Amino acid sequence: MPLGDHLRELRKRLMLACAGILVGAIGGWFLYDPVLHLLQAPVAELRERGVNATLNFSQVAASFDIKLRVAAFLGLLASCPWWIYQLWAFLAPGLKRNERRWAVVVIAAGVPLFAGGVYMAWIALPNTFLLLTQFVPDGETSSALIDVTTYLKFVMQFLLIFGVAFILPLILVLLNFLGMVKGITWLKGWRWAVIIIVVLAALATPTADAVTFIMMSLPIVALYFAAVGICMLNDRRVAKKLRAAADSADVDSTH
């Protein structure tokens, strides 16, 4: 396919992905109140600890801005299967039939992995938030006025980074199944991979505390080694298939 056709196809898929996110955001607009209440759960836990913690709408348009942010965030989450499919639809024309079959399996796994990353982040969020605010003194004389824009940016970034990070090992598997990189190559580079994951997790973490980025990096490291294991098994399967084909060719040549 010519470069111009590739660019037009890419533009088409990006537009369709954005349209799906927009539709999800429209639905998220009407779910704003219950979702905002849910996102405030860590603040409620802080109040249960005896700290006078409240979300502060410090700007005139803050409430409208927050509603837009939450709606867009929900649209991105809800349309996850759609925009992952658009990625697949862009890649599919350049793949062979067997490559397409494996790519479908790999990309389809991206949906539960993304959801699993977001869910894990949601479980870790209350403890992370309490850890970061544990030095606020208890009692009526102390108050924690938390800017709502900063707080929700922290929460949404925290959830999305976990979700995207859980998808990254799929790239390793996809490249291997397409025959571009051997599993042994990923295995030999495991030390650099761990270092890169830890560094990127530290840079991507919304806060500067070590606990949060360790909680983020460990599952990704585990997924990396799981991906390497899948690649190694696939390489063994391909090598066995090639040996069988070679043996069959030798038998045919002797007759």
Determine the structural domain holding residue 227 and report its residue range: 3-250
Please report whether residue 255 resides in a domain.
Answer: no
Per the listing, tokens 């509603």 go with: 67
Distance (Å, rounded) from C-alpha 242 to C-alpha 232? 15
Q: How many domains does the chain have?
A: 1
| pLDDT tens digits, one per residue of 202-235 | 665 555 556 666 777 788 888 888 888 888 888 8
Please report whether residue 90 resides in a domain.
Answer: yes
Name the percent of the chain lying above pLDDT 70.
76
| pLDDT tens digits, one per residue of 15-31 | 998 999 999 999 989 98
Q: Give the global pTM.
A: 0.65
Exposed / middle / buried, residue 253 (Cβ in 10 Å: 0-12, 13-18, 19+): exposed
Q: Tell me which H or E stretch contains 171.
A: helix 148-177
Q: Give the DSSP per-residue string, 12-26.
A: HHHHHHHHHHHHHHH
